[in-house]
Amino acid sequence: MHYLNILYGLLGLSFLVFIHELGHFLVARYFKMRVETFSIGFGPTLFAKTHKGVLYRLALIPFGGYVKVQGMDEDSQEEGSYYNKRPYQRLLMVLAGPVINMVFAFLGFCFIQ
């Protein structure tokens, strides 16, 4: 029974990571940033699929995730690059993950009785 609790915990954590990364992803797409990778988990890939130029990835270690936007790790001036966007757009993309977590938590508490 303890193993099922661990599995449920990991699934719950992975869902929260998904919600967080989805916030980053949606705002990046809204501002026409070129998203290269949407990953839930780290380490070896369990499942991967490319759709419309985005690599969607599920990895073995479920303690995090990331959204990789073109040019986020270097100063790139290409179309759709992170650094090619206005500062407020970059700020909103970075803040979208924590904000969607807070909204999700608020809605969750509203439905608990």
Q: Of 18, 15, 103, 26, whose CA–CA distance to 66 is shortest?
A: 18
Query: Which residues form the catalytic set?
Result: 21
Q: In 3-state terms, what secondary structure has residue 58?
A: strand
The amino acid occupying position 65 is G
37 phi and psi angles, rounded to 5 deg = -140, 140
31 phi and psi angles, rounded to 5 deg = -90, 15
